[in-house]
Structure 1
């Protein structure tokens, strides 16, 4: 879940589940804190080792797990209105903590990723320097996972959206994509109606302060990945004096509108694919599609448009599923050999590897059932975006970006779902976190989903941001290497900020 970005489009695959096709922000800064909130609620914690076991496949020794729900106002603009959402929480605590500092609240991005699952993963994945000093607290944001959630897409429609051609050139094919996106958007409008704007990022950021209060923390210590950096940045603007330490890893520039953000992501994935191709050429023994990985993918997708390879149960490995597998594999360099093997097997008539990669990304199980990741992803992204271009403008961008970003440009352009979204919008604020302490903003130079260029921009926008760079590949950096881990650990535990210009090597 750490390496996940957002899909701005479900009908025609965009480039990410980590939030990243950013909507147009609201430039007028909100009043810090907003309306008076109800008295701090409490969480009725209960042991939940089974939840950790489901996420991890085992129950780790020397860690206790507790779960609970926190009730928050559905609308923070009217916090005493009566209606509430339940926010699911997990707290993981090492049994032999020493010099405990407090709680580290974590979010995996998406939007739509489960922070409950992330807390389980990080309870065994973070350095002991951190787990011995902090409880790891994850939450499923409103609309997500075990919280009161959004679910309005059918499994059949999600299969159709992922399997659709990522670059529908013929007008008839494009019209089918528009019609499917309209159907999916309307299904959310029919089910949730006027509540759709309540799944916005600003509402979720205000939930975070309720979580902080319920944990008894005077100030928030937070680790957010990908879209979680946007959530943290909005929190810092709303509650700058409530910040102890924020680590924002895989930074999103909150000042970009949806078109600029989508184009940045298309460029980022093209760059990451070029890096994968270069690795193939230099490591032919590990890359059976060498020397020309791009030609292999282009040929595979063209062939799939005519006669797709079929897998178990007659499932067709269409161009859409192939691109999903490629996108999934670019989140981590560790998956590059798997992608190369899957593509090699595909041209031999075996689509198993392609489906394995794509289904992991899509959160599709063996029965063809999906989680609500993409329902929540759409609800948040579209609620945030007040200025989605019209369908005809997206069609123009599709053609233009095909020339600039051949593999990923067309699908990045086609934000068809938000273009037809029925709900009102609630764009998030973008501006300085006046009064906040130093905030650590971490970027990876080879990041496809949140391109590195956004890292210094987020730091500058916040005003108190400090950049930490990883010269690596993939999406997000902490805790990938000793250098990155050491810098982040010191910041979280001692509030020691890395020196200006600190950059860590790839390994």
Structure 2
């Protein structure tokens, strides 16, 4: 069986279900200069339920402890002297000679909605080289984890929400999906009305500039992954003169609206599935889930069709539905390290047991073994709906299904119907797509992975173009999985480390294999 803690750590998305806001929303900062606040760094507590639960982070390999603190930020950036919220931060102090220290390197691991406070320690060893000259710092963005978390439905309601059919085949199933989505969105408004208008990416970018000042840095040194690249691009647009050394990895296409982004993901996940099937059947030993790449995909399609008619036993008392299986397959395609779990899960499902695929799906949804959910879904939906202006109807989705199915037989319907998630949202979206133009910014290294399912490779070049001439520097990794640096590819890591540690900008167009 896959290791649940490893799976959860690798999901670079978010967390749910703690209602009190850290520092509350009742504190008035009228007489307080938030840039002058002193952070009280202490040993880190165990993650909250909203962050996914579990144990406090283990010490670093050299015995150093992770430290946590809470930073005050304005609840509403249009009223910076008004009420405040608390943003949860974590750091590992620089391990090298203090005279060589550059400053803090701020990480955002994506989502939107990922808890940086839990994710950074899970991957801390991967950034040991960067820690020689930087304090490694991450945070729970507003609305996430311990930072004024958005709350929507409870654990029991979320179990039912994720059991529903997310790819309706008839009018009754369509009505059920739309009603369930409307109920979820109404719960978000009821439980988090004050936060919903204040979790936009522009708000988080302003929070990061406050962090820069509170941490004592003249420039923001930044490592953004997945949605973290969009957040970094928005920061660069708002504060181009304050960008220090920055890296974007697993790059979101900033030129696309939600429909275009969903269609791009359909193509990206299909490409990853093709690569998985080809990899399995090209090995010397027999592939246990198909005789050819096409046979592997045909058998998966047949399994999903059968699950639509009759779910399999999953993790008691829940069944493995077609939607859960699709979600679990998508989760496994995020990393080539998970391909063995996908093979094992498919073998098990063909034998009538859905536990592994359901475990993968639970990992994607932020559900722990004890049945508690992080606020991955609440935060992700809230931030996306606050950012994205379009509101798609069921009729619109149905009109687009042929193109989505052409992009991916397996994932097309799933990603198309996901577009209705903001339809009944309580807050208007900000724009069709983010503005990341950043004339005058320092160079930003933009790393695209040709096999990335979630943020397809084409987005890296469009990010470079959108940042503007002389800002984005493109690097290509010809690999698999979501992101490039964590693949351990030496060419990628040397280029990224070289820039962040010495300021050496790689040659634009560099290709790593």
For normalisation by structure 2, the TM-score amounts to 0.88
Would you say 1:471 and 2:471 are equivalent positions? no
Q: Is the 8 A contact 1:107 1:118 kept in 2?
A: no
Partner of 1:90: 90
Partner of 1:370: 373
Separation (CA, whole Å) in 1 of partners of 2:97 and 2:288: 47
Separation (CA, whole Å) in 1 of partners of 2:300 and 2:159: 21
Pick closer, same or farther for the CA change 1:398–1:58 going to 2, 3 Å.
farther
Separation (CA, whole Å) in 1 of partners of 2:465 and 2:373: 38
Aligned-pair CA distance for 1:331: 0.5
Partner of 2:39: 44
Aligned-pair CA distance for 1:187: 0.9
Would you say 1:489 and 2:484 are equivalent positions? no
Separation (CA, whole Å) in 2 of partners of 1:57 and 1:294: 40
Aligned-pair CA distance for 1:114: 0.8
Match of 1:423 among 423, 427, 431: 427
The secondary structure found in structure 2 opposite 1:63 is coil
Unaligned runs of 5+ in 1: 8-36
Separation (CA, whole Å) in 1 of partners of 2:108 and 2:373: 21
Counterparts of residues 262-277 of structure 1 (less than 5 Å): 262-277=262-277
Q: Cα deviations across residues 70-90 of structure 1 (Å, max 9, x unaligned)?
A: 11111112212x111210000
Aligned-pair CA distance for 1:246: 1.1
Aligned-pair CA distance for 1:451: 0.2
Separation (CA, whole Å) in 2 of partners of 1:503 and 1:222: 22
Separation (CA, whole Å) in 1 of partners of 2:384 and 2:304: 28
Q: Is the 8 A contact 1:4 1:109 kept in 2?
A: no
Separation (CA, whole Å) in 1 of partners of 2:261 and 2:352: 37
Aligned-pair CA distance for 1:272: 0.8
Match of 1:451 among 449, 456, 461: 456
Q: Is the 8 A contact 1:157 1:180 kept in 2?
A: no
Q: Which moved more, 1:97-106 or 1:286-295?
A: 286-295
Q: Is the 8 A contact 2:60 2:125 kept in 1?
A: no
Separation (CA, whole Å) in 1 of partners of 2:12 and 2:171: 29
Pick closer, same or farther for the CA change 1:97–1:328 going to 2, 3 Å.
farther
Q: Which moved more, 1:356-365 or 1:160-169?
A: 160-169
Q: Is the 8 A contact 2:34 2:73 kept in 1?
A: no
Separation (CA, whole Å) in 2 of partners of 1:59 and 1:394: 48
Aligned-pair CA distance for 1:314: 3.2
Pick closer, same or farther for the CA change 1:65–1:185 going to 2, 3 Å.
same
Aligned-pair CA distance for 1:286: 6.8
Q: Cα deviations across residues 130-155 of structure 1 (Å, max 9, x unaligned)?
A: 11111100110000011111011222
Separation (CA, whole Å) in 1 of partners of 2:88 and 2:44: 15
Partner of 1:304: 307
Partner of 1:253: 253
Q: Cα deviations across residues 355-403 of structure 1 (Å, max 9, x unaligned)?
A: 2222222211122221011100011000001122223212222344224
Aligned-pair CA distance for 1:39: 4.6
Separation (CA, whole Å) in 2 of partners of 1:287 and 1:370: 35
The secondary structure found in structure 1 opposite 2:193 is helix
Counterparts of residues 99-110 of structure 1 (less than 5 Å): 99-110=100-111
Q: Is the 8 A contact 1:193 1:423 kept in 2?
A: no
Match of 2:395 among 386, 392, 397: 392
Counterparts of residues 11-410 of structure 1 (less than 5 Å): 38-51=33-46, 54=55, 56=57, 60-80=61-81, 82-97=82-97, 99-128=100-129, 130-193=130-193, 195-283=195-283, 285=285, 287-291=287-291, 292-410=295-413
Q: Is the 8 A contact 1:200 1:383 kept in 2?
A: yes
Q: Cα deviations across residues 41-96 of structure 1 (Å, max 9, x unaligned)?
A: 4243233255599265666433232111111111112212x111210000112545
The secondary structure found in structure 1 opposite 2:228 is helix
Pick closer, same or farther for the CA change 1:338–1:279 going to 2, 3 Å.
same
Separation (CA, whole Å) in 2 of partners of 1:72 and 1:110: 21
Q: Is the 8 A contact 2:265 2:453 kept in 1?
A: yes
Separation (CA, whole Å) in 1 of partners of 2:36 and 2:192: 26
The secondary structure found in structure 1 opposite 2:316 is helix
Q: Which moved more, 1:445-454 or 1:112-121?
A: 112-121
Aligned-pair CA distance for 1:439: 0.5
The secondary structure found in structure 2 opposite 1:444 is strand
The secondary structure found in structure 1 opposite 2:396 is helix
Aligned-pair CA distance for 1:310: 0.8
Separation (CA, whole Å) in 2 of partners of 1:97 and 1:177: 57
Q: Is the 8 A contact 2:111 2:226 kept in 1?
A: yes
Q: Cα deviations across residues 396-444 of structure 1 (Å, max 9, x unaligned)?
A: 2234422442111111112122112122333364142011011111110
Separation (CA, whole Å) in 2 of partners of 1:340 and 1:83: 51
The secondary structure found in structure 2 opposite 1:288 is coil
The secondary structure found in structure 2 opposite 1:106 is strand
Q: Which moved more, 1:228-237 or 1:256-265?
A: 256-265
Q: Is the 8 A contact 1:248 1:441 kept in 2?
A: yes
- How many corresponding residue pairs? 474
Q: Which moved more, 1:63-72 or 1:462-471?
A: 63-72
Aligned-pair CA distance for 1:236: 0.2
Separation (CA, whole Å) in 1 of partners of 2:259 and 2:316: 38
